[in-house]
């Protein structure tokens, strides 16, 4: 279980300025044809059949996460995800995992900021068993007081472990600083104070408010027939308690804030995230942003990896990342370095982004980054887990199982000039710099100056 960011219409885009021949769409992409059904009560069921698979992976996705919590509920969605595994009306905590592991499968769950998922992987003949168990977790978790006391301590340990891992917790710090005062900026795990304040009543009220069939998306991938999946859900879930629940819309769009956040810690390295406001997944320029992120810090051939690590020896780890909601997002670069070289690292990092904004990358560099992004999508099609999760993400973001052909065609249509323009769009925002590590001797002010933060 885990706690898991200027527009132009594609209709007016010109062909990419490259001498390469038009790309033939892959067999994998053109054969992407998931089946989607909407059951009574607006529950969505979708499947992606893999004839050669020796497994089926399925997920029950609830459209509620940490981003939907009220201020006093910070961490409640994640704690509830833990608590449903402590026992149901029919099964003890041990029996829950044995139901799946006894047939060679696995079961897990994850809480995000926009959704919570409960997932199983089983042999194809055990589809009904898996659906029935996930339905039992969703509808009939006991949520008992004695279980709450022990599981609260488990989550507090998880929170402590995260705090002891600076190259993990810094991303939470960045999101909290960039989206201050909004649920999307708060930690998924919550805080020690919020966790200690939760009661069984808190859990039951949150579940009653959000865990309703209309908030559910079922997805599955592997060796299965869509009709069998529907039948299994009809037997093990659909006839249970329904109702509309309440809206799970986010509490207003998060407002981006630039600036500097420094946390003085006795560490051997500075852990640094430099970022700006990004783009939501529905923005027409999001594919260009994805290409920019890949060019800057998406792999070992990326500009920042080559500059900061291979040439200057400033950092062991450096990579870019995107946090994208439907309509809002963040772009960032993480690096860790020797404290005495932090100022140089930040200056070179900012310079790398300015370089792209000032001059469009050449066609070959764009094509290299495009190939990496395309392959990451297509290679993941070999695993039923990835296909199941991809199907759920597309349904959440686009409200439909948007075909891979559309996604890859949008990526192929991005020009070097659009990559340059989206870099300029990022630089038009005030940057946000977050640093964890030793900040003595005025280092915080020097880092702020290197990032050009007033």
Cα separation of 121 and 212, whole Å? 23
**Residue 110, H or E segment:** strand 106-111
User: C-alpha angle 145/147/148, rounded to 5°?
Assistant: 65
Burial 69-87 (b: 16+ CB within 10 A, else e): beeebbbbbbbbbbbbbbb
Check residue 87 and report its DSSP letter: B
The catalytic residue positions are 81
What token pair was written down for 68? 């939907």
Q: Count other Cβ atoms within 10 Å, centred on residue 127.
A: 24
| C-alpha triplet 120, 126, 131: angle, nearest 5° | 50
**Residues whose CB falls within 8 Å of the CB of residue 46, separated by 6 or more in sequence, listed in order:** 34, 35, 36, 37, 217, 218, 219, 220, 391, 392, 395, 401
Q: Give CA 257 to chain center in angstroms.
A: 21
Which two three-digit tokens encode residue 62?
């609830």
Please tell me whether residue 378 adopts helix, strand or coil conformation. helix
CA separation, residue 428 to residues 283, 334, 421 (Å):
17, 20, 11
DSSP-assigned letters across all residues of 27-79: HHHHT---EEEE-TTS-EEEEEE-TT-S-EEEEEEES--GGG--GGGTTHHHH
Asked if residue 87 lies in contact with residue 143, where contact means CB atoms within 8 angstroms, the answer is: no
Q: How distant, in Å, are the alpha carbons of 77, 175, 352 from that of 347?
A: 39, 22, 9
Q: Residue 8 to residues 131, 292, 324, 399, 440: CA-CA distances in angstroms?
A: 43, 16, 18, 22, 45
User: How far, rounded to the nearest angstrom, does the alpha carbon of residue 3 sit from its chain's CA centroid?
Assistant: 10
The contacts of residue 82 (CB under 8 Å, 6+ apart) are 1, 109, 151, 154, 155
């Amino acid at each position: 279980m885990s706690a898991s960011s200027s527009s132009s219409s594609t209709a007016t885009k010109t062909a990419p300025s490259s001498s390469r021949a038009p790309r033939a769409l892959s067999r994998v992409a053109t054969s992407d044809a998931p089946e989607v059904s909407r059951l009574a009560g607006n529950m969505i069921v979708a499947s992606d059949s893999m004839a050669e698979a020796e497994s089926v992976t399925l997920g029950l996705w609830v459209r509620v996460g940490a981003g939907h919590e009220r201020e006093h509920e910070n961490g409640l969605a994640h704690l509830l995800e833990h608590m449903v595994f402590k026992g149901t009306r029919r099964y003890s905590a041990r029996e829950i995992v044995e139901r799946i592991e006894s047939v060679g499968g696995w079961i897990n769950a994850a809480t995000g900021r926009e959704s919570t998922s409960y997932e199983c992987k089983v042999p194809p003949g055990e589809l009904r068993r898996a659906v029935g168990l996930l339905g039992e977790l969703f509808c009939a978790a006991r949520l008992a007081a004695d279980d709450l006391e022990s599981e609260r301590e488990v989550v507090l340990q998880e929170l402590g472990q995260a705090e002891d891992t600076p190259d993990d917790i810094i991303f939470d710090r960045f999101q909290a600083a960039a989206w201050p005062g909004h649920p999307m900026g708060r930690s998924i795990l919550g805080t020690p104070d919020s966790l200690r304040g939760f009661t069984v009543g808190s859990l039951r009220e949150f579940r009653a408010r959000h865990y309703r069939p209309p908030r559910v998306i079922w997805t599955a991938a592997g060796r299965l027939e869509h009709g069998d999946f529907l039948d299994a859900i009809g037997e093990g879930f659909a006839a249970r308690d329904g109702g509309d629940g309440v809206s799970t819309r986010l509490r207003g769009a998060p407002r981006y804030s630039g600036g500097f956040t420094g946390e003085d810690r006795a560490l051997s390295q500075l852990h640094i995230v430099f970022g700006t406001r990004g783009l939501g997944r529905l923005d027409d320029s999001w594919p260009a942003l994805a290409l920019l992120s890949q060019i800057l810090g998406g792999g070992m051939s990326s500009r920042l990896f080559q500059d900061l690590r291979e040439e200057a020896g400033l950092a062991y780890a450096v990579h870019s990342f995107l946090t994208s909601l439907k309509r809002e997002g963040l772009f960032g670069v993480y690096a860790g370095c020797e404290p005495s070289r932090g100022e140089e690292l930040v200056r070179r990092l900012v310079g790398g982004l300015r370089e792209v904004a000032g001059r469009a990358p050449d066609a070959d560099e764009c094509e290299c980054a495009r190939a990496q992004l395309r392959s990451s999508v297509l290679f993941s099609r070999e695993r039923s887990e990835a296909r199941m999760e991809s199907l759920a993400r597309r349904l959440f973001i686009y409200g439909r199982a948007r075909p891979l052909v559309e996604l890859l065609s949008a990526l192929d249509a991005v020009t070097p000039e659009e990559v340059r323009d989206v870099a300029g769009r990022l630089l038009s925002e005030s940057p946000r710099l977050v640093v964890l590590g030793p900040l003595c001797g005025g280092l915080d002010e020097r880092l702020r100056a290197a990032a050009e933060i007033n």
